[in-house]
Chains A and B, each alone.
Chain A
Amino acid sequence: MIGISATTTQGANWRSWAEAGFSSSYATRSWFDSTSAQLIGPLGARWQLGQHLDLLRNDLSAGGDVRQRNHRLFVSAKPYPTGSGWTLDIVGTDNAIKETVDRRTLVGKALLGRLLNWRDALSVHLEAGAIASRHTASTAERRDAGFGHRASAEWSTTTQNASDILPEAINASIRNDGDRRDRLRAHDTEWDFGSNWQWERDSLELAWGEQWSSTRFYPNPETFDDVGEQEHRRRNIRFAWHHGTSNNNRSALKSLISPFSWQVEADAGLDRNTYSSVTTDEAVAALPRDTRTTARGYRLQTSRAMGPIAADIQYRYRWVQDRFGEQRRDQTAETGEVEGRLRWQVTSRDSLTVRSIFRVTSYTAPGEENFFDDRDQAERVVEVAWWRKVSPVLTIRPIFSFRGFRQIFISEDRSANNNTDDVYLLAPEFEWQPSRIITVFERVSVRAHYRFFEFDRSDPDGRGTLYRRAESETRLGLRQSARTTWRLRYVYRYEDFGGLFDRDGWVQSVDWDRRSHLMDATLEWRPFGTLLVKPNLGLEFKRAFQHRLDGTEITRIKDEPFKRQYIGMEIRWTMNSGFVLRASLARRVQQFGSSPKDRDDRWNVYFARPIP
């Protein structure tokens, strides 16, 4: 990526900001730049000019032929005297896809507006202007022109003497956008309302939002013969109550409840899309399907701190219903979840953290014909981490975790696939800094992943598997001088994988095992304060063995070895004036056995400086 970023403040009357960049990955290259300048005139008049360009080019090729080329251009400018209340928005977009298809859409819009404010509480913005578009395909072209408008109003107020009934803050907004071109038109109305109450130890939040929109569009982007219409409806409602702890309660019930803090949140929503054809009936078949999603949920949480122990527990509930018009695949998902967390500062040097989650999601279809996909998913998580600072220079931290996932299809058609995934992890780690110049970090992790299918767990030909992995990571930091630091890392990894079945206890039949060695070394050298030079060298070996059963003997057959080497260099130069230059180069070479070497080169340059 190449990027330039700059900001500057020129006295009190002149502010400017600029950013530009280029990035490249795979076959996508994108350029962007954005500038903004504001001038404050002698009589308080303010002028603002902004511009934003976003250009993306995607060259996808196979076998040497360019298969696709995209570019996207977006330019906007806002030249207006902000103090006067007048606004002017000029926006242009250009979207093109070339090679595989030849499509281009150009849209230009200019809106002149007036901004009105009343006592800093109510602001109204009215805009109107012209809009034109051109859709081009290989054999057809369509031009549409017309006018557009945008109206928005925002109202917000705060109450100094809020009572139990009156909220402390209220904000509301309403927006209406629309345009009407020859055969195309769009209309979008949205309003949101929010309110907030604050008391001594409580807060209450209520919010409500609605949106309606309808858009006419060309479903067939090659001919533009037909016009479809999409209507969209959205509704969101949210409620949240927070209650803090109290130490001043007289009744027995209050003294029991008050040390806890409580949170209650609830929300509900609706999202609906319907499609219809404006012109011919044939277009209906090509239109997307109608969709409707309704959702509701809530969360209850309570927490308490008791000296060195802090604990909280919460329950979450979520219900989502999807409806797809005449589709067979309607579905309702319902989730219940309990999560508990405990943190115990055992001594000044020891602390213990425990976290546990239990969650079940049930998917249910309304029709008998879809019963085959009804299923439950159950998840269980237990994490225990102990942190001990043995001495000022030595810290140890053993971690244990368990994650279980169970999928249960209810119907006999699918229940043969009911399976359980259980993953156990034990990972002790320690960090030792025997002197100011040496830091040693060691982490050992052992992981076992059991997967079994519930109806064939005892079958030696079943589909159960066990994956085991043990890894040791050693990091060594050597500070040779104030300007030179060495960082060395070595990772050894053992993995094996094979069938798993239950015969009075789990039995594993190993299919393969492999051993990996990863080594890398990095030097951080600062020849002078503002320059950092960072070369890096890495090496990786992998040896794998297949296990074959010959009669009663198991033989290990060596696979082709894998080798990877990489070398890189990074230079970072930071000057007091804010000038930053960062450049990196990396080469990676890898090879499987006797296959040809695969080489990959990457480079990055980044540059930033303020505008003088």
Chain B
Amino acid sequence: MRILAVLMLAVLSALVLLTGCAKDPFSTREAEEPIGGKGTYITPVDPLIGLENLRFAMIEQNLGHYRQTYSESLLFTFDFLLVDRPDSISGWDAAEEDRIAGNLLADADSIGLVWELTDGRTDRFDDSTAFLYRTYDIAVVRDSVDTVVTQTYKGEFIIRMERDALDLWSIVGWEDLHLSATQPSWADLKSSYR
């Protein structure tokens, strides 16, 4: 008899039963009646709408909307970081971006973000791909017990958006660039929450 397999299955079944390791895939929790403000999110049927959704998700610190602006195949890359790490990397994927965004949007007390088309660039649109070039300015405010700290992050990004299977536009490539050797960029802001 396959003693070992049966034993392992028994142990696994006991663990599932004892620890409640199961989740109902059909039901969700009840939401409270809203008192908070409405967020801004428009169905991204155009790349520029998708980009605006990203800006509003940052300003409104809405993780759910932020997460819907990029695809599962997102690759975020940067030129360099002002604070180094031993695992020298040049970017991360969507799963890492989820974690970083969760930390960042929950930790900041308010976020300001403005951007404009990068000098010397024009956005490029194809039938299912778009390249968008922006120079941005981010202000992150954090309150502590006796002080309010505002940090600014400036840089440029090149975002590549693609039309997905639902015909909606989402970010698949995001390259962040510094403006100078001392001015922290969006990548530095994100990296501090890794």
| Residues in chain A within 8 A of chain B (CB atoms) | 26, 58, 60-64, 67-68, 70, 95, 97, 100-103, 138, 164-165, 186, 197, 199, 202, 204, 206, 215-222, 228, 230, 239, 241, 264, 266, 286-289, 291, 296, 298, 315, 317, 319, 322, 324, 327-329, 331, 334-338, 358-360, 362, 370, 372-376, 378, 403, 406-419, 423, 447, 449, 451, 453-456, 463, 465, 467, 469, 495, 497, 518, 540, 590, 598, 600
Q: Which residues of A contact B81 (CB under 8 A)?
A: 221
Q: Which residues of A contact B145 (CB under 8 A)?
A: none
Bound: A467/B4 CA distance, A: 55
Bound: A287/B168 CA distance, A: 39
Contact at B32–A411, with CB atoms within 8 Å? yes
Q: B85 contacts which of A230, A414, A598, A600 (Cβ < 8 Å)?
A: A230
| Residues in chain B within 8 A of chain A (CB atoms) | 1-5, 8-9, 12, 16, 21-43, 45, 62-65, 79-88, 99, 102-103, 105-107, 118-122, 124-125, 127, 156, 158, 166-168, 177-181, 191-194
Contact at B39–A416, with CB atoms within 8 Å? yes
Contact at B12–A334, with CB atoms within 8 Å? no
Contact at A409–B64, with CB atoms within 8 Å? yes
Contact at A291–B31, with CB atoms within 8 Å? no
A566 nearest CB neighbor, chain B only: B126
Contact at B4–A164, with CB atoms within 8 Å? yes
Given contacts A70-B79, A319-B21, 7 further A-B contacts (CB under 8 A): A138-B181, A186-B86, A288-B192, A288-B194, A296-B21, A328-B107, A406-B28
Contact at B28–A376, with CB atoms within 8 Å? yes
Contact at A495–B24, with CB atoms within 8 Å? no
Contact at B41–A463, with CB atoms within 8 Å? yes
Do A495 and B194 contact each other (CB < 8 Å), given the known contacts A266-B12, A415-B34, A416-B37? no
| A-B interface, 4 closest residue pairs, ranked by CB to CB distance from nearest | A336-B23, A416-B34, A215-B86, A413-B36
Contact at A204–B36, with CB atoms within 8 Å? no
Q: A453 contacts which of B38, B124, B192 (Cβ < 8 Å)?
A: B38
Q: Which residues of A contact B105 (CB under 8 A)?
A: 373
Q: Which residues of A contact B119 (CB under 8 A)?
A: 62-63
Bound: A522/B191 CA distance, A: 47
Chain A: interface secondary structure?
Answer: strand
B151 to chain A: closest CB distance in Å?
Answer: 13
Bound: A113/B26 CA distance, A: 58
Q: Which residues of B contact A372 (CB under 8 A)?
A: 36
Do A415 and B43 contact each other (CB < 8 Å), given the known contacts A324-B103, A408-B28, A540-B127? no
13 contacts between A and B (CB under 8 A): A60-B177, A164-B4, A206-B8, A230-B86, A329-B107, A410-B31, A411-B36, A415-B32, A453-B38, A455-B34, A467-B43, A495-B45, A598-B122
B103 to chain A: closest CB distance in Å?
Answer: 4
Bound: A204/B88 CA distance, A: 38
A231 to chain B: closest CB distance in Å?
Answer: 10
Chain B: interface secondary structure?
Answer: loop
Bound: A413/B29 CA distance, A: 16
Q: Which residues of A contact B82 (CB under 8 A)?
A: 221-222
Bound: A419/B84 CA distance, A: 40
Q: B84 contacts which of A63, A165, A217, A454 (Cβ < 8 Å)?
A: A217
Contact at A415–B106, with CB atoms within 8 Å? no
Contact at A62–B118, with CB atoms within 8 Å? yes
Q: A219 contacts which of B65, B83, B156, B178 (Cβ < 8 Å)?
A: B83
Q: Which residues of A contact B41 (CB under 8 A)?
A: 417, 419, 463
Bound: A370/B79 CA distance, A: 33
Bound: A563/B88 CA distance, A: 45
Bound: A358/B21 CA distance, A: 17
Q: Which residues of B contact A199 (CB under 8 A)?
A: 2, 5
Contact at B25–A337, with CB atoms within 8 Å? yes
Q: Which residues of B contact A370 (CB under 8 A)?
A: 106
Q: Which residues of B contact A70 (CB under 8 A)?
A: 79
A251 to chain B: closest CB distance in Å?
Answer: 14
Q: A101 contacts which of B30, B36, B120, B181 (Cβ < 8 Å)?
A: B181
Bound: A101/B184 CA distance, A: 12
Bound: A108/B122 CA distance, A: 43
Do A407 and B64 contact each other (CB < 8 Å), given the known contacts A204-B5, A288-B85, A413-B36? yes
Bound: A295/B41 CA distance, A: 32
Bound: A102/B79 CA distance, A: 12
B171 to chain A: closest CB distance in Å?
Answer: 16
Q: Which residues of A contact B33 (CB under 8 A)?
A: 412, 415, 455
Q: Which residues of B contact A218 (CB under 8 A)?
A: 84
Contact at A62–B120, with CB atoms within 8 Å? yes
Chain B CB within 10 A, most for which of A329, A375, A411, A453: A329
Q: B25 contacts which of A186, A358, A403 (Cβ < 8 Å)?
A: A358
Contact at A449–B156, with CB atoms within 8 Å? no
Q: B63 contacts which of A67, A219, A221, A373 (Cβ < 8 Å)?
A: A373
Bound: A287/B125 CA distance, A: 40
Q: Which residues of A contact B30 (CB under 8 A)?
A: 410
Do A373 and B102 contact each other (CB < 8 Å), given the known contacts A100-B178, A217-B85, A412-B33? yes
Bound: A197/B9 CA distance, A: 14
B156 nearest CB neighbor, chain A only: A62
Q: Which residues of B contact A60 (CB under 8 A)?
A: 79, 177
B68 nearest CB neighbor, chain A only: A407
B106 to chain A: closest CB distance in Å?
Answer: 4
Bound: A138/B28 CA distance, A: 55
Bound: A266/B13 CA distance, A: 11
Contact at A68–B5, with CB atoms within 8 Å? no
Bound: A63/B178 CA distance, A: 15
Contact at A334–B83, with CB atoms within 8 Å? no
A457 to chain B: closest CB distance in Å?
Answer: 13
A314 to chain B: closest CB distance in Å?
Answer: 11
Contact at A288–B191, with CB atoms within 8 Å? yes
B50 to chain A: closest CB distance in Å?
Answer: 13
A90 to chain B: closest CB distance in Å?
Answer: 21
Q: Which residues of A contact B194 (CB under 8 A)?
A: 288-289, 291
A531 to chain B: closest CB distance in Å?
Answer: 30
Bound: A165/B38 CA distance, A: 61
Contact at B8–A97, with CB atoms within 8 Å? no
Bound: A374/B127 CA distance, A: 37
Q: Which residues of A contact B84 (CB under 8 A)?
A: 217-221
Q: Which residues of B contact A230 (CB under 8 A)?
A: 85-87
Q: Which residues of A contact B64 (CB under 8 A)?
A: 375, 407, 409, 414, 417
B183 to chain A: closest CB distance in Å?
Answer: 10
